[in-house]
């Protein structure tokens, strides 16, 4: 009995020490994962382009408000979270932040005063942003964004969610290593696929809306090797479509149709609505040809091969049914690129399934054409 009491007492002491450590041990920041030359300068427009792709404005701009001046409300199951001002205003925003402060917010989810940000800021995805993109973003926010003085309302979640140190535990459980590494050799060995994977997993944070969340509320899958990755999540109480499963867009639509949907907001099957409309309007419509690599990656994350036949009259236009090709025709198709396969072999006959007919992107004056990495 005495031993039992001793053990319980020891556990309580260990628990208390751990708690004190979590609350008081200084927060560590992750060092840059790549070394760039000291005189490295971001290519013109890379920062603005990255900010678009990463949707910074969607969350950090209040409807009708100044760009990036914050105050937009994000409804979470724990209560309303207000986004912050991220213009370079020194008093009410991040104007005095160093590059290290900025990087820490993006990849560790911490502020210069070592406060933890709520994961409503998608640092779970941004954690893997390349150092070049971080520096380009910092440069853009500090020099090109207009400073706006705007003290945004403080987020006040009910107890225990107002105890931000608790997020530290969550970070320990959920966050992996910073930096981006393709999950399979297949993707790593194919420049287009790995670029597409980076854009979808990291900068474009598609998973923040399209991947279901597990018990911890973290995304239940970070890449194509996770069965749940991009299989449909939730945003603002609405479910988002599965992008990989048997009846999903990547199974039913051609590369061109996917590209049309992402960049122009509509194709023969569907037109964007809701949150996806915002994603296209504020972000995806601006992607350049190189970044349409997302489509190749999206296609190769599909769970099972199906080939879409031309729609018959009765099926048009919404039907998502597919019919497998007869074996004789299948032999004539290009080999399926299944990026979830852990294989290093490239297609032996050199044939790859990339975007067949490039879709001309809209060419409004304001669109960016900078080329990326
Ligand atoms: C899905 C919405 C969302 C997106 C997209 C988003 N943020 Fe945030 N961000 C937030 C929220 C919410 C907070 C505040 C979190 C909190 O209060 O803990 C925040 C906080 C921050 C902070 C901390 C500011 C401060 O004063 O503490 C910085 C810096 C920041 N975001 C930069 C960015 C950048 C740069 C991008 C684009 C690369 C971006 N955010 C994209 C939601 C978002
Ligand atoms: C802010 C949340 C959000 C983000 C971020 C987001 N999506 Fe979506 N997406 C949605 C919603 C919601 C829909 C459903 C739209 C509708 O019903 O019209 C959707 C629909 C789609 C569809 C059509 C699927 C279908 O079956 O109709 C595709 C394809 C798609 N998204 C791809 C992407 C890609 C690729 C990214 C990342 C670059 C992305 N989405 C990022 C919320 C999001």
Q: Span 102-116, mean pLDDT?
A: 96
59 and 134 share one domain: yes
245 and 333 share one domain: yes
Asked, for residue 51, whether it belongs to a domain, the answer is yes
220 and 96 share one domain: no
55 and 138 share one domain: yes
DSSP-assigned letters across all residues of 23-52: HHSPPPPPPPSS---TT--PPTTHHHHHHH
The pLDDT-based confidence of 79 (bands split at 50, 70, 90) is: very high
Asked, for residue 115, whether it belongs to a domain, the answer is yes
User: Hey, is 83 helix, strand or coil?
Assistant: coil
Ligand 2 atom having least distance to the Cα of 248: 26
124 and 258 share one domain: no
Q: What is the number of domains present in the chain?
A: 2
* Type and span of the H or E element at 133: helix 131-143
Residue 236: which region, alpha, beta or left (left: phi > 0; alpha: psi -120 to 50)?
left
Q: Which ligand is nearest to the CA of 115?
A: 1
Q: Which ligand is nearest to the CA of 280?
A: 2
Give the distance (Å) from ligand 1 centre to CA of residue 121.
Answer: 5
Ligand 2 atom having least distance to the Cα of 298: 35
Strands 234-235 and 238-239, by their bridges, are: antiparallel
The pLDDT-based confidence of 360 (bands split at 50, 70, 90) is: very low
197 and 336 share one domain: yes
How buried is residue 1: exposed, middle or buried, by Cβ count under 10 Å (0-12/13-18/19+)? exposed
169 and 284 share one domain: no
pLDDT digits (tens, 9 = 90+) for 195-213: 999 999 999 999 999 999 9
pLDDT digits (tens, 9 = 90+) for 118-169: 999 999 999 999 999 999 999 999 999 999 999 999 999 999 999 998 899 8
215 and 353 share one domain: yes
Q: Which residue has the tokens 């800021």?
A: 121
48 and 141 share one domain: yes
Calculate the CA 136 to chain-centre distance: 18
Domain span at residue 63? 37-148+157-179
Ligand 2 atom having least distance to the Cα of 294: 35
174 and 188 share one domain: no
79 lines ligand 2 (CB under 6 A): no
């Amino acid at each position: 009995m005495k031993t039992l009491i001793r053990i319980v007492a020891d556990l309580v002491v260990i628990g208390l020490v751990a708690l004190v450590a979590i609350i008081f041990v200084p927060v560590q920041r992750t060092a840059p994962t790549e070394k760039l030359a000291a005189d490295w300068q971001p290519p013109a427009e890379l920062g603005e382009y990255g900010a678009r792709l990463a949707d910074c404005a969607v969350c950090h701009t209040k409807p009708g408000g100044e760009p990036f001046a914050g105050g937009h409300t994000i409804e979470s199951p724990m209560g309303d979270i207000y986004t912050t001002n991220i213009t370079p205003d020194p008093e009410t925003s991040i104007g005095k932040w160093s590059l290290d402060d900025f990087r820490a917010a993006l990849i560790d989810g911490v502020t210069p005063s070592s406060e933890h940000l709520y994961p409503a800021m998608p640092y779970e995805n941004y954690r893997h942003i390349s150092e070049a993109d971080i520096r380009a973003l910092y440069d853009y926010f500090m020099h090109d964004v207009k400073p706006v003085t705007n003290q945004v309302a403080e987020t006040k979640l009910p107890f225990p969610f107002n105890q931000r140190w608790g997020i530290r535990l969550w970070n320990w459980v959920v966050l992996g290593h910073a930096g981006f590494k393709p999950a399979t050799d297949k993707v790593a060995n194919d420049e287009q696929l790995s670029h597409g994977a980076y854009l979808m997993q990291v900068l474009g944070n598609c998973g923040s809306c399209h991947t279901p969340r597990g018990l911890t509320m973290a995304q239940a899958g970070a890449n194509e090797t996770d069965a749940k990755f991009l299989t449909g999540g939730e945003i603002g109480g609405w479910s988002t479509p599965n992008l990989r499963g048997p009846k999903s867009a990547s199974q039913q639509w051609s590369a061109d149709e996917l590209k049309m949907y992402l960049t122009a907001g509509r194709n023969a099957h569907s037109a964007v609505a809701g949150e996806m409309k915002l994603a296209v309007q504020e972000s995806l419509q601006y992607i350049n040809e190189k970044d349409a690599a997302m489509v190749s990656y999206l296609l190769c994350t599909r769970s099972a091969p199906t080939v879409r036949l031309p729609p018959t009259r009765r099926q048009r236009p919404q039907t998502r049914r597919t019919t497998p090709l007869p074996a004789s025709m299948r032999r004539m198709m290009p080999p399926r690129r299944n990026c979830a396969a852990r294989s290093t072999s490239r297609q032996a006959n050199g044939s790859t399934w990339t975007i067949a007919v490039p879709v001309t992107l809209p060419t409004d004056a304001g669109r960016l054409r900078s080329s990326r990495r």
